[in-house]
Structure 1
Amino acid sequence: MKSRMIAPLAVVALTAGLAACSTGDDALTPADAEALADEEVTLHVAIDEGLEDEAIEAFETRAAEFTEQHPHITVEAQEYTWTGTTFAADLAGGTLPTVFTVPFTDGRGLIERQQIADISALVAELPYADQFNETVAAAGQSADGAQWAVPVAAYGQGIHYNRALFAEAGLDPDAPPTTWEEVREAARTISEETGQTGLGMMTSSNTGGWILTTLVYAMGGRAEAVDGEEVTATIDTPDYKEALEYLHAMRWEDDSMGDEFLYDWATSHADFGAGKIGMMISGGGDYGNLVTQNAMNPDDYGVTVLPLEGDDAAVLGGGTLAAVDAKATPAEQAAAVEWIDFYYLGKLTTQEGAVADAEAAAAQDQPVGAPILPVFDKATYDRSQEWIADLINVPLEQFAPYSDRIYDQPLAAEPPAATQDLYATLDPVVQAVLTDENADIDTLLADAEQQVQTLIDRG
């Protein structure tokens, strides 16, 4: 890599009516990209915040390989982590990298508002463009099916658990809970026997609504009902009430949820990695973050699938899209697609890319081969795992309760309309239930549904 820059993200006020910077009519064509093939470009690419030196070195190894293949492109890394409460301001302020990632829930809105570049013509030329899982690919597509943003990771929610705390509490780490009642019992036992938090619950930066909705899906409910073009919020329902009453009982009857009720994604993972939380609900692919950014002992890590109870119970699924800044020049857009192909997807689709990525990670003692829910079909994923079999350095047997069962569980997409707004509206609902023993759940849900429906109707 020719140089590396770690730049802080500025936070500025979001202004109304953010102007579009890219339109479908201006989409870069393959012929345009070919004409720009030798133009000198500096490409700012996202790198996770807070990485350990070894992880940064592994990234730099891959970036150096990229620039060797593309000598006209200078790669400069910029620290970036998507956060629901600040992303809109970062987007408006122009502080994002040229290539950045967003959750599936943001894709359609960014495309409709033309706040990312239309790279669909270039993506369509990639050799695996027609091999994406259709449900996964849809998150980054415009209404006409053009792939403006590229799915690079997918997940199904799971329960992460600390095997050491399980053992200390007298629980079997190889037999994690399989029902919600067993989850509750395990949380209470961990809290009583170890003094640590039995179940850590995210509640802020849109994560409270996300995890609450995960519980609702797993118990058979949904957040929204869709009938053609009409979307109706379904929050003031027995399903949401059941999920909140479950959390209320764990908090106030069992005292198994600790004393931190403002966790977001980063802080919950930090405490889980530090051995302060026995169980937490999050995306099934969080192992890399836990060991590389939160120094978790791999021997202590365990993950299992969510219990599914109810007639229409399903695992809430989502993922990550790679997108390109709408202000990127044509040459930068072409370089960005080259980077997405190389860095994010080459390791999933080619043996050379898979081995190179695994070797770079292994050389820096980074995780290799942690099971994930693939963005392509399972056969493609299994083949990529075979390519790197000799380099896998994670305790696969500790993932078995998740990896052996996740493919058999029904997956359901996140709520389709005003998704992050819905989650944000539910954050204070979860906080209220965990901090006020007398919280009026019925009123909280009725008010939240009215607010969310207003947001949905605004579009």
Structure 2
Amino acid sequence: MKSPARVLLAGVAAAATVGALVGCSTAGGDDSSGKTELRVATFPPGADAAAYEAFAAQEKQFEDEHPDIDIIGVEYEWEGPTFAVQLAGGSLPDVFTVPFTDAKTLLENDQLMDVTAEMDDLGYTDSFNPIILEGVTGDDGKIYGFPRQAYANALSYNRELFEAAGLDPDSPPTTWDEVREYAKKITDETGKAGYSQMAINNTGGWQLTVGTVARGGRTQTDNGDGTAQSTIDNDATRGVLQFLHDLKWEDGSFGSKVDLDWGTINQEFAAGNIGMYTTGSDIYTALVRDFGLDSDVYGLTVIPLEGDDPGTLGGGDIAVMSPTIDDETKAAGVEWIDWYYMQKLLDEDAAVQDAKTLNESGQAVGTPLLPVLSRELYEESLVWIEPYINVPRDQMAPFTDAIWDQTPVGEAKVKTQEVYALLDTVVQTVLTDENADIDALLAQAQTDAQALLDS
């Protein structure tokens, strides 16, 4: 699930669509001018023109400082089911991003470039939160990527639909019972889906896990030796599925679309067809940039927590490079990652330049994230860029005021995406079969997941 911020945690869901925006080179290397050509990931297909204007400005700034490197922007979107095919086929950019959840699988398959020496040379190794750095560290102790963004899962909501239903948009729901109550009011008054949830392309399993953790459960336990135990068959996961069943089959507030993933649920939400849904706290940027959301209708709050050991499932992504690129392209890639992703996290001048460029191009500045470094440095960076913040943070105050009181929980470490794919089917069954046997679904899912973990 795409997500940030993607830290003390770990992801989002995945298919990589790639297409050159400028030029048509298939691999990095020297071009006819003697420069090193570097293909870098930009935005998903469909991003607005302003996004590309901002990128063009940043590209020029980088190339002015690095005249020996020629940046080639490439459209890119990570989606689980097709990412492995794109990677194996060599059609990804030289520099791209992947969710924390995919890093371990890529490491096991030797599909990421070792950047240990470069990380040390830049002085970043000791700066990252150790939990985050662990996610890009292989069994050999080497580092294979730069954590660049992290997020907490949160509840996004449509303020306009709240008002139409007689609800106060400045007082979003704080319990799951209230979410259900608000969803029904929205549907009854507007005819729109009061609540919706992702269900396909690994995102159904991802959000089922988000709901499980928020209710005090876990879908997997780490044995500490590289193996894991499936714990899907638990009361918290059962509660999530019963919640979805009741919204769909008792209240009629779920809506008719039960086959949404990260992209399509964002599209539906931006079009005003969904009252509430859960996803990463960093979603505002994509909603505005890629899906045309009217910023005035957006609201963000923390996910309701209940149960004995609840938490907020986090995620994020890392900037990585393919192990097949040559040393010259790798060196250029490290320069780009440091300049484009990392310096703005640590350096005031870099942070201000990045925020100013994005602001002048109409791109979101100040979307709520979680720190990959320290909370203190993250909050200091918000002070640096305050003149350029243009997101409606007052409409996100229910999230920003409360997120530090919630316990962050990282995503499962073993076969994460494979288990998410398996759980998609469970979610889809509950949403398409009014008489689905939730207990039987969970028992079978736990057995199937354990087989995956043991394989």
Q: Same fold (TM over 0.5)?
A: yes
Identity level (%): 45
Post-superposition offset of 1:235:
1.0
Task: Report the Cα distance in structure 2 between the residues aligned to 1:4 and 1:43, rounded to whole angstroms.
Answer: 13
Q: Is the 8 A contact 1:67 1:73 kept in 2?
A: yes
Q: Does 1:170 align with 2:187?
A: no
Give the counterpart of 2:393 among 396, 399, 404. 396
DSSP-derived class of the 1:59 partner: helix
Match of 1:346 in 2: 343
RMSD: 1.6
1:157 touches 1:281 (CA, 8 Å); kept in 2? yes
Change (3 A) 1:408 1:223: same
- Are 1:40 and 2:57 an aligned pair? no
Counterpart CA distance in 2 for 1:238 and 1:353 is: 47
Question: Is 2:21–2:75's contact at 8 Å kept on the other side of the alignment?
Answer: no
- Residues 1:57 and 2:74 are matched in the alignment: no
Residue 373 of structure 1 corresponds to: 370
For the structure 1 residues 390 and 208, does the alpha-carbon distance in structure 2 shift closer, same or farther, using more than 3 Å as the test?
same
The change in CA–CA distance for 1:183 and 1:349 in structure 2 (over 3 A counts) is same
Aligned amino acid, residue 45 of structure 1: V
Q: List aligned pairs for 1:191-202, cutoff 5 A.
A: 191-202=187-198
Q: Residue in 2 aligned with 1:136?
A: 132
For residue 138 of structure 1, report the CA deviation from its aligned partner: 1.6
Q: In structure 2, which of residues 225, 228, 232 is the aligned counterpart of residue 231 of structure 1?
A: 228
Given that 1:136 and 1:154 are in contact with CA atoms closer than 8 Å, whether structure 2 keeps it comes out as: no
Cα deviation digits, residues 10-45 of structure 1 (max 9, x gap): xxxxxxxxxxxxxxxxxxxxxxxxxxxx97311000
**Structure 1 residue aligned with 2:95, among 84, 93, 99?**
99
Deviations 1:32-70 (A, max 9, x none): xxxxxx973110000111211101110111111111111
Write out aligned runs for 1:368-447 (5 A).
368-447=365-444
Give distance in 2, aligned partners of 1:70 and 1:380. 27
Matches within 5 A, 1:177-216: 177-216=173-212
Displacement of 1:8 after TM fit?
12
Contact between 1:124 and 1:147, CA under 8 Å: does it hold in 2?
no
Are 1:5 and 2:22 an aligned pair? yes
Question: Structure 1 pair 258/6, CA: closer, same or farther in 2 (3 Å)?
Answer: farther
- Does the 8 Å contact 2:104/2:413 carry over to 1? no
Segments of 5+ residues of structure 2 without an aligned counterpart are: 1-19, 27-32
The structure whose RCO (Cα within 8 Å, separation 6+) is larger is 2
Write the distance in 1 (CA, Å) between the matches of 2:23 and 2:259: 28
Q: 1:394: Cα distance to partner?
A: 1.4
Normalising by structure 1, we get a TM-score of: 0.91
- Partners of 1:7 and 1:78 within 8 A in 2: no
Q: Identify which of 293, 297, 305 aligns with 1:296.
A: 293
- Name the residue aligned to 1:155: 151
Give, in angstroms, the shift of residue 447 of structure 1: 1.6
Which of 63, 74, 79 is equivalent to 1:78? 74
1:365 aligned counterpart, secondary structure? coil
| SS in structure 2 at match of 1:90 | helix
What is the number of equivalent residue pairs in this alignment?
A: 428
CA distance in 2: counterparts of 1:39 and 1:305, whole angstroms: 51
Indicate if the aligned counterparts of 2:344 and 2:350 stay in contact, CA closer than 8 A.
yes
SS of structure 1 residue aligned to 2:80: coil
The structure 1 segments of at least 4 consecutive aligned residues displaced by more than 4 Å after TM superposition are: 6-9
> In the alignment, what sits opposite 1:19?
none
Q: What is the one-letter code of the residue matched to 2:77?
A: T
